[in-house]
Amino acid sequence: MTPPAHMNLVVAWLLIAVGFVMGFVLGLNFHREDWLGGYGSRKRRLYRLGHIATIALAMINILFYFTAQTLPHPNPPLEIASWGFIIGAVTMPLCCFWMAHDQRARAVFVVPVLSLAGSALLVFREVLR
């Protein structure tokens, strides 16, 4: 039987690999002071944030996977949180890249922010039980 939240583990390791590849691509131009408008430019900062978020949120998904193993199943709130952590981890870097090219796209961050914060609150409630 597949352990609970196994999907979060699969997606997490895929995102870690993608995050490393992003870092590699960033690294190809890292030496150029003016790349993407320079180190402090909005575009470069958002590309960097996309790279960091991909790896950090993958780690959150792995933490969720191990937390889920300690809780009773089936567990509908954890099923929702499972999808919320995946949606958040995938959409946060996409929002960063979108906003890097279109400053008006700020509102799209509401998707990853609500997915992640809502999922964390669901897990918090479950671990309190």
Residues at the interface with ligand HEM (CB under 6 A): 20, 23-24, 26-27, 30, 39, 44, 48, 51-52, 55-56
Smallest distance, ligand HEM to C-beta of residue 11, A: 16
Residue 86, number of CB atoms within 10 A of its CB: 22
DSSP string of 42-110, one letter each residue: HHHHHHHHHHHHHHHHHHHHHHHHHHHHTS-SS-HHHHHHHHHHHHHHHHHHHHHHHHHH-GGGGGGGH
- Of 30 and 66, CB closest to ligand HEM: 30
Q: Is 101 or 125 the residue whose CB approaches ligand HEM more closely?
A: 101
Q: Which is nearer to ligand HEM, 41 or 75 (CB)?
A: 41
Instruction: Name the residue number minimizing CB distance to ligand HEM.
Output: 23
